[in-house]
Amino acid sequence: MRLRSYLSSVILGLCTISSATAASWGFDDGSVSIHGKKAGVGAGAKEKLVEKKPLVKPITLGASETVKVLVTIKEDKKAKRPHQAFLRLEEKQSHLETSYAFAVKESGKGKVEIARKDIPAQLLASKDPLSASIIIGSFGTTKAYYSHAFDLVLEQNAESAVPPPEKPLRYGKLPEIHHKFRADPTSPPKIITLVFTAAVLFALPILVATVSLEWK
Amino acid sequence: MRWLFSCLLLGALGLVQALSSSGSRLLVVIEEITDKEKYSRFWVDLEGLGPALSPNRLLEFVNRNGNILLTLSGDSPTPTAISSLLLELDIHLPPDRTSLVVDHLNYDTLSASEKHDVLLLPQPSALRPDVRNFFGGDGLIAFPRGVAQELGNDSPHLAPILRAGGTAYSYNPKDETENVEDPFAVGEQISLVSSMQARNSARFTVLGSVEALEDTWFDAKVKALDGKQSKTANQEFARQVSAWTFMEAGVLRVGKVEHHLSSTNEKVPGNDSVFQLGYLNPKIYRVKNDVTFNLELSEYAYDRLSPLTILPADSLQLEFSMLSPFHRLNLQPILHTPNSTVFSTTFKTPDQHGIFAFKVNYKRPFLTNVEVKREVTVRHFAHDEYPRSWEISGGWPWIAGIWVTIAGWLSFVWIFLYSEPAYEKGKGKKSQ
């Protein structure tokens, strides 16, 4: 028994060592920058990206600006072209997401540029920052890389305002409607009515009295 | 037993198709609960059709309330007839006729450690909080060599049953490029199993991988990237999908529809506060009547009718409308019978006369459509339904005026008739 357990722990140890040395995808020289036609608030901002460490401060994307992400992809310290290299933008509230493919050269250098107009309308309307992650993967046993890289804040101002996309018809419950009834016809306060009724009723005796006075 | 039968059907039809439409791995399974004979003629027609299986015939079939379960395979090219059929329904297939969905982070390491084309997906959760989930569970589904579908955004009839993970994408294996530059669809926008329910409630399901239905995958052992080994839930998922497609699950039936005049007594709580006056389902009501509407609904599940439960985030609504709804009210369940639930609400008819209709239009993803319409007339107040004149306090001066005028005239007549002209004494003649 003891020998068995000793052997199994040795095997387990070897296994962990071998998995630690398994190949995995990653990147070097990562950077994210904003390019725009004019010098806006975020234009010219450039930040370095490091594997598995998301940026603390979010990047702001203005109205007519483009965000450019550059990476040099490597498999275990060797620059290589993977099959899949995507930048994934996700909206945190609704979990809507889309991915943009990096254009990767033979040397492993990848570049992706996302203009404001490339972002789908459903994500553009978001008030929260979009979370951007990098996905690098390929066939074979090499471990793929998927980690949050930075947050992208969409600057909402007058010139960047895009009319929200028309909501498509979806079956679901509709708001309740309660018919508002017309007000019932009302009478004036009773005291006014009584005064005038008394005036009308007393008109007859007053008339009789006046006429009989004339006769006499 | 039911499931066994449809399994056989799948197999038999597969053979037929392999013989008649060259090389295509298309399996079309057509089955309806009540009328199998109607569709056995269709099968005979199908054998004769072969490559002439046109989108028009299949759409005609759906229009005649037939249900279709269509499976695609990543191993062989999808016929253009199928692509154009699906385009009619606003389901988009990749333009390259061969395509595969891969995911480098959620694949089965036992069978696809190199190619990553066997996706491991958890059984899906509800689409929205107000939509019933017929495909849920705790297991993992193995999806080998699937074809991605992208659903158009405009149609309310489409609903994805199983979506790929956030890191999946679709690519063409015949494409020689080393890295994929412009994938057809990525992430959760890829729908691997899509459903379409037409306005007549006929169902059309597209299953992206026919291999997921194979016996080997029904209880295969799979191992995810994180090392966890488990058995696939493919059999349960296949049963759920075919049960939904062939009208064994998510079918609603309307029972009794009743409406009547009622009197409400607010002092009594709950449903007892409403008391029926007169007979059931009259054709005519009056403006500002208290009316109660009762609707009995059941859900058909596998082989029996059972009471329908509406999810808390959802509601069954009644519209009382002429050209547009004057009232839209949530129906509350008041009674559960062994086979059904009775929903009811009480309201005041609007102060507008005309021809109104009680309308219940309950359409939800994955449930058959319920449309109930009952027309009634709403009339004005009758002459004797207004308050009497002396009850209206504002009218008292006018009533007093009328009576004073009558009294004044009568007293003048009496005085005139019974009064003498004044004569002078001793003359005997009228004084001038």
Tens digit of pLDDT for each residue in B200-234? 999 999 998 888 888 788 888 888 888 888 998 88
Q: Are B130 and B171 in contact (CB under 8 A)?
A: no
Tokens of B83: 């692509």
- pLDDT digits 0-9 by tens, B29-42: 433 233 333 334 33
> B271: pLDDT confidence band, cut at 50, 70 and 90?
low
**CB proximity under 8 Å: A 187-216 to B:** 187-188, 190, 193-194, 196-197, 199-201, 203-204, 207-208
Smallest CA-to-CA distance from B135 within B145, B144, B126 is with: B126
Residue B270 is predicted with a pLDDT of 67
CB pairs under 8 A between A and B: 138
Q: Supply the ipTM of this predicted assembly.
A: 0.77
Q: Are strands B317-321 and B354-362 parallel, antiparallel or unpaired?
A: antiparallel
Q: Which of A118, A122, A204, A88 shows the shortest CA–CA distance to B153?
A: A122
CA-based nearest residue in chain A for residue B346: A178
Quick: pLDDT tens for B226-257: 888 899 888 889 889 988 988 888 999 999 99
How does residue B159 score in pLDDT terms, banded at 50, 70 and 90? very high
pLDDT band for A19, please (50, 70, 90 cuts).
Answer: very low
Does A179 lie at the interface with B, CB-CB under 8 angstroms?
A: yes
Question: pLDDT tens digits, residue range B282-303?
Answer: 999 999 999 999 999 999 987 8
Average pLDDT taken over every residue of chain A: 83
pLDDT tens digits for range B65-75: 888 888 888 77
The pair phi, psi for residue B6, each rounded to 5°, is -70, -30
B325-342 exposure pattern, b = at least 16 Cβ within 10 A, e = fewer: bbbbbebeeeeeeeebbb
Band of the pLDDT at B134, cuts 50, 70, 90? very high
CB proximity A141 to B under 8 Å: yes
Residues of A within 8 A of B116 (CB-CB) are 137, 139
Hey, are the CB atoms on B314 and A172 less than 8 Å from each other?
yes
- The pLDDT of residue B35: 33
- Taking only the tens place, the pLDDT of each residue in B347-384 is 999 999 999 999 999 999 999 999 999 999 999 999 99
Q: Where is average pLDDT lowest: A161-165, B199-203, B309-313? A: A161-165
> Mind telling me how many Å the CA of B136 is from chain A's nearest CA?
19
Judged by phi (left if over 0) then psi (alpha if -120 to 50, else beta), residue A210 lies in alpha
Spell out a b/e string for A30-54, using b for 16 or more CB atoms within 10 Å of the CB, else e: bebbbebeeebebbebebebebeee
A98, A146, A200 member nearest B397 (Cβ):
A200
A137 in B contact zone (CB under 8 Å): yes
User: Which of A135-139, A149-153, B2-6, B325-329 is modeled with the greatest confidence?
Assistant: B325-329
| Beta-carbon separation of A204 and B411 below 8 A | yes
**Residue B191: how many CB atoms within 10 A of its CB?**
23
How many beta carbons lie within 10 A of that of residue B384, not counting itself? 6
pLDDT at position B346 is 94
Q: What is the mean pLDDT of residues A149-168?
A: 80
Give the pLDDT of residue B199.
92
Minimal Cα–Cα distance from A41 to chain B, Å? 31
**Residue numbers in B near A83 (CB within 8 A):** 104, 171, 178-180
State percent of chain A over pLDDT 90: 25
pLDDT at residue A21, rounded to an integer: 54
pLDDT of B328 above 90: yes
State how far the Cα of A163 lies from the Cα of A83, in Å rounded to an integer.
37
CA distance linking residue B113 with residue A139, whole number of Å = 8
Predicted confidence (pLDDT) per residue in A32-87, tens digit: 888 876 655 555 678 888 888 888 888 888 878 888 999 999 888 888 888 889 99
Least confident piece of the model among A155-164, A195-204, B314-323 = A155-164
Least confident of A4-8, A194-198, B161-165, B347-351: A4-8
* pLDDT at position B180 over 60: yes
Rounded average pLDDT over A143-149: 90
Q: Which of A154-168, A183-197, B229-243, B342-356 has the lowest mean pLDDT?
A: A154-168
pLDDT at A39: 56
Min Cα separation A39/chain B (Å): 31
Is the whole-model pTM more than 0.80? no
Q: Which of B109, B145, B151, B393 to mutate to test the interface with A (most CBs of A within 10 A)?
A: B393
Residue B32: the pLDDT is 29
3-state secondary structure of B247: coil
Q: What residues of A are in contact with residue B364 (Cβ under 8 Å)?
A: 171-172
Kindly state the tokens that stand for A136.
Answer: 């690098």
Q: Which residue of A has its CA nearest to B391?
A: A187
Give pLDDT, residue B17. 31
A contacts of B350 (beta carbons < 8 Å): 179, 181
